[in-house]
């Protein structure tokens, strides 16, 4: 670049040769001072004006204004010597002031004066640019002098002058010329600020003034290394590569990503995206540099695009076995706080953020205009679709749109007025549902009234949207016990968390809950041959010595299985209840001999004992889930059947228990089994809970813990619901099936003027070059979360979308609707934990590889399909042909790999 102040003396206006004749003084004054061409002319940004020594100009002014014809008053050649530091470098003096040291002349006025009087021999003209800064034009007398250096040798600098209106790109090109760096090599600039630190000059399209560059600042040019890294990053990392790493040369793209701590989801998404050929070529060939959008308020100031470009260039340099994506991870966390830290996340969610971030950082639309979405209003689909796509492109135009965006047709129908709304909406990926079974498998424990029978574990198939009564009916088929004689309870930590009513929904029961179904006596009707019974919840507690100085105090700790026990309501006493419970516990509690206890006749006690007043209804548990722990058969769930209510006095008025030497004592407690309810003024309608309190010594002698915890498995536990594999096409069909909107997401009908639960149908109008299909394996409802591990069979090549695209098709180009698989993001594990990996086809070699963080290994096509497949990447066949022609002209197609053979081990079978 030539220095701003250095140029040869100008010629006369319009390239005319110097004129020998000097006009008369009045004419000279008119030419130089008039408003059209002279000093009075208004300045315009970008044009050149010239500095003239004030003393010489005043002499000329006296000559032409006074008309003195004395030869000694005629000014000689224009002499600006007083304005320069010396006559060697012709450096302008500092601190010159207009009107005191010099005057400014327009280009036309300067040319005329030089043609009349000439310029002192050897002196350069002092040409300066006019800077237009927000409508205020001024002459830039002193250009910006920058010190240019290379990152490899910052001690060696070169001084160059620039106007404040010059772009940073001009500084970059000047540095490339000065240090003989090819424009094809990727370079970037850093400026040293007043604090001594370096700051990136990211946006090369802005001016020096916008970038706040001042004279004397050091600007360092950095050149990307052959391995795709920047020398400054290696310096900050403080580590140098080994000789073996420096000499490594491998297949470009076959490069692992280090797991930084639960970042396998990010690695999987990056590997998939990195193996989209046209996107990777876009970054490798630096086409992104001209499209970085630094001023987009919806973008990330170009930082996400640059960080991703760095990863791509390193991975595809062929000089790394594995790279550490810590810079990219930091950038993602900075712009998306949900990805801060090192928790596990979803690869599809990261992919969605990344595609959106790259799009906005590379959006060619610098100022988005407002575009209103228009309804079809009866117009032809073709017309509305073209209009919708044009409107989309007016605001969104990037390589991401070119590669991944397609168009939906959305049809909404109002159920009341029949109004039909048709719109066309862009999409970046398809989130397709998996066919979901309407059945649910639940495991429960059945507790019989027969004390000799151990609890039975059952595996029941029930309607997913069924009720507690459905669970009881399913169990009745296995046990022969009527559903009317069953109560369902959720047991947690040796206590009843909740006792269910028959009409409650099964969705309130989570898979991790322990469900117990108790057999109770029939009480649906009362005849002369049956007595009405009440069901009492029973807890087991053990006295434990307290840990304080008062050894006489005993604490109480729950243990074992709680029970629901039917007791005759009209003949209830403490002694009768004691013997009933002793009978119910007889399988694992040894009955003492007559020497140990005064054991009376059970029937006599029931009939002759003091009556216990009638309790109220069975009550439910707390409203909050105590935690995700899963106990064995000792914790479970129950379905509630209400016992008739009674207005008898509550537990605080119960008679005193008979004083005998028993194995255990009985105590009324609250629903948690932690406090004696007789100490409180309880509601008379409240359901009493009874605790069996054991002395440690008595428990040790008479209570068999091993037998108490024992249970048996019913034959049904060995059954497994067969999960048949589904075809990917079935998922796409389900995606395009008409559905009714949910209550949480109604549609506002412009005709009815109110929100309606309209029917909605999505159809595919146009498909993108690269189609991303997200399999919705994770299901979230109000009461449950689950992962669907259904095997989805997807084709490796020739996925045909012609039957799903409703836009009139070009029959002569079937490849426009056929896709080949290029990458798969896999998820192994469940909801709370898991691991992500990637299958991807290398764009250069055509070989499939398995990416597991920093480990990469080749695989065959018959290894790709599995239950872990989560996000699929398909490339349209015409795009693949086009890219292949560009990269490998004249080369024949590689042989087709062997046909896919299903892996039977990956399926659940009966």
Q: Which residues are catalytic?
A: 264, 835
Laid out side by side, the sheet with 554-568 consists of: 554-568, 533-545, 689-694, 664-669
How far, CA to CA in Å, does 74 sit from each of 29, 65, 101, 121?
14, 12, 21, 18
Cα separation, 443 vs 516, whole angstroms: 9
Contact indicator for 585, 653 with CB cutoff of 8 Å: no
Q: Give per-residue burial for 137-165: e unless 16+ CB within 10 Å, then b.
A: eebbbebbebbbbbbeeeeebeebbbbbb
Asked whether 113 and 56 are in contact (CB, 8 A), the reply is: no
Name the β-bridge partners of 534. 567
Do 309 and 279 meet the contact criterion of CB atoms below 8 Å apart? no
Cα gap 794→867, rounded to integer Å:
11
Q: How many angstroms separate the Cα of 752 from the Cα of each of 378, 413, 417, 589, 759?
A: 18, 12, 7, 70, 15
DSSP 718: G
- Cα–Cα distance between 823 and 796 in angstroms, integer? 10
Residue recorded with tokens 């009874």 = 690
- Count CB-CB contacts under 10 A for residue 37: 18
Angle between helices 326-335 and 347-361 (to 10 degrees): 80
- Overall size of the chain counted in residues: 910
Alpha-carbon dihedral angle through residues 268, 273, 274, 279, given to the nearest 10 degrees: 180
Instruction: Report how far residue 193's alpha carbon sits from residue 635's, in angstroms, rounded to the nearest whole number.
Output: 67
Torsions phi, psi of 267, nearest 5? -60, -40
Write out the two tokens for 36: 């059209």
Longest pairwise C-alpha distance within the chain: 154
| DSSP character string of 516-558 | EEEE----S---TT---EEEEEEEEEEEEE-SSS-TT-EEEEE
Over the range 613-636, which residues count as b (16 or more CB within 10 Å of their CB) and which as e?
bbbbbbbbbeeeeeeeeeeebbbb
Residue carrying structure tokens 């398995």: 850
Q: Is 189:172 a contact under the CB 8 Å cutoff? A: yes
H/E stretch holding 849: strand 848-852
As a whole number of angstroms, the distance between CA 187 and CA 172 comes to 8
Burial of 609 (0-12, 13-18, 19+ CB in 10 A): buried
Best CA proximity match to 283, nearest among 116, 410, 149, 399:
399
Token readout for 434 is 């998996």
User: Residue 544 burial by CB count (10 A; 0-12/13-18/19+): exposed, middle or buried?
Assistant: exposed
Q: What's the distance, CA 431 to chain centroid?
A: 14
Nearest Cα to 713, choosing from 478, 455, 461?
Answer: 455
- How far from the centroid of its chain's Cα atoms is residue 900's Cα? 33
Residue 852: partners with Cβ closer than 8 Å, 6 or more residues away: 256, 837, 838
β-bridge mates for residue 727, sequence order = 793
404 sits in which H/E element: helix 399-404
């Amino acid at each position: 670049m030539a220095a701003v102040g250095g140029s040869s003396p100008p010629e006369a206006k319009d390239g005319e040769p110097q004129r020998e004749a000097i006009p008369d003084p009045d004419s000279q004054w008119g030419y130089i001072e008039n408003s059209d061409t002279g000093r009075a002319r208004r300045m315009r940004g970008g044009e050149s004006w010239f500095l003239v020594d004030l003393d010489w100009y005043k002499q000329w002014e006296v000559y032409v204004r006074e008309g003195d014809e004395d030869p000694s008053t005629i000014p000689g050649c224009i002499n600006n010597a007083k304005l320069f530091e010396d006559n060697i470098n012709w450096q302008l003096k500092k601190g010159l002031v207009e009107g005191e040291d010099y005057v400014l002349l327009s280009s036309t006025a300067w040319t005329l004066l030089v043609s009349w009087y000439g310029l002192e021999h050897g002196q350069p003209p002092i040409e300066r640019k006019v800077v237009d800064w927000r409508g205020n034009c001024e002459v830039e007398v002193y250009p910006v002098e920058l010190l240019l250096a290379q990152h490899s040798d910052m001690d060696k600098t070169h001084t160059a002058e620039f106007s404040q209106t010059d772009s940073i790109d001009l500084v970059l090109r000047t540095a490339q010329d000065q240090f003989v760096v090819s424009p094809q090599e990727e370079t970037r600039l850093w400026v040293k600020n007043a604090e001594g630190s370096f700051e990136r000059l990211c946006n090369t399209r802005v001016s020096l003034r916008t970038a706040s560059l001042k004279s004397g600042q050091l600007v360092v040019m950095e050149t990307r290394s052959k391995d795709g890294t920047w020398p400054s990053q290696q310096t900050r990392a403080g580590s140098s590569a080994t000789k073996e790493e420096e000499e490594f040369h491998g297949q470009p793209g076959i490069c692992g990503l280090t797991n930084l701590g639960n970042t396998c989801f990010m690695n999987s998404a990056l590997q998939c995206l990195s193996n989209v050929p046209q996107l990777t070529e876009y970054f490798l060939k630096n086409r992104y540099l001209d499209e970085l959008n630094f001023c987009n308020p919806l973008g990330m100031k170009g930082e996400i695009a640059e960080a991703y470009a760095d990863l791509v260039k390193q991975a595809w340099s062929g000089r790394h076995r594995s790279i550490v994506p810590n810079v990219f991870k930091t950038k993602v966390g900075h712009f998306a706080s949900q990805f801060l830290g090192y928790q596990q996340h979803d690869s599809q969610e990261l992919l969605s953020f990344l595609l959106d971030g790259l799009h906005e950082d590379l959006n060619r639309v610098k100022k988005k205009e407002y575009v209103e979405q228009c309804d079809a209003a009866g117009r032809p689909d073709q017309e509305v679709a073209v209009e919708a796509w044009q409107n989309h492109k007016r605001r969104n135009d990037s390589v991401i749109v070119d590669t991944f965006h397609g168009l939906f047709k959305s049809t909404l129908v109002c159920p009341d007025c029949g109004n039909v709304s048709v719109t066309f909406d862009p999409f970046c990926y398809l989130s397709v549902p998996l066919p979901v079974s309407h059945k649910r498998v639940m495991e429960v424990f059945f507790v019989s009234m027969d004390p000799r029978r151990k609890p039975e574990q059952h595996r029941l198939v029930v309607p997913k949207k069924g009720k507690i009564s459905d669970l009881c009916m399913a169990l009745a088929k296995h046990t022969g016990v009527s559903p009317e004689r069953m109560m369902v309870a959720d047991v947690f930590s040796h206590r009843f968390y909740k006792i269910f009513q028959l009409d409650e929904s099964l969705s309130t029961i989570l898979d991790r809950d322990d469900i117990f179904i108790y057999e109770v006596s029939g009480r649906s009707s009362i005849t002369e041959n049956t007595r009405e019974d009440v069901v009492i919840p029973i807890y087991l507690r053990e006295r434990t010595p307290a840990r304080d100085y008062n050894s006489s105090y005993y604490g109480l700790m729950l243990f074992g299985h709680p029970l629901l026990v039917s007791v005759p309501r009209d003949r209830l006493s403490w002694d009768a209840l004691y013997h009933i419970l002793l009978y119910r516990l007889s399988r694992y509690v040894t009955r003492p001999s007559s020497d140990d206890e005064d054991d009376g006749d059970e029937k006599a006690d029931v009939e002759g004992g003091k009556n216990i007043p009638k309790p109220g209804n069975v009550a439910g548990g707390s409203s909050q889930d105590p935690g995700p722990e899963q106990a064995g058969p000792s914790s479970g769930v129950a379905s509630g059947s209400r016992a008739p209510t009674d207005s008898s006095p509550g537990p605080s008025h119960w008679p005193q228990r008979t004083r005998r030497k028993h194995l255990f004592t009985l105590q009324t407690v609250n629903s948690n089994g932690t406090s004696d309810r007789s100490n409180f003024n309880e509601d008379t309608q409240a359901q009493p809970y009874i605790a069996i309190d054991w002395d440690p010594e008595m428990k040790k002698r008479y209570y068999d813990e091993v037998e108490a915890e024992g249970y048996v498995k019913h034959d049904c536990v060995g059954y497994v619901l067969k999960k048949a594999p589904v075809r990917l096409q079935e998922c796409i069909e389900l995606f395009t099936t008409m559905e009714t909107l949910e209550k949480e997401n109604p549609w506002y009908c412009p005709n009815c003027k109110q929100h309606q639960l309209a029917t909605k149908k999505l159809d595919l109008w146009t498909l993108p070059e690269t189609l991303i299909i997200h399999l919705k394996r994770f299901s979230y409802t109000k009461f449950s979360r689950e992962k669907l591990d259904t095997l989805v069979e997807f084709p490796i090549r020739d996925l045909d979308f012609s039957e799903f695209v409703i836009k009139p098709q070009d029959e002569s180009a079937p490849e426009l609707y056929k896709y080949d698989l290029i990458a798969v993001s896999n998820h192994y594990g469940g909801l709370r934990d898991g691991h992500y990996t990637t299958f991807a086809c290398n764009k250069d070699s055509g070989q499939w590889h398995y990416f597991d963080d920093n480990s990469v290994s080749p695989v065959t096509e018959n290894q790709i399909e599995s239950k872990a497949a989560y996000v699929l990447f398909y490339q349209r066949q015409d795009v693949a042909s086009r890219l292949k022609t560009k990269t490998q002209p004249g080369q024949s197609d590689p042989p087709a790999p062997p046909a896919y053979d299903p892996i039977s081990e990956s399926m659940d079978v009966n």
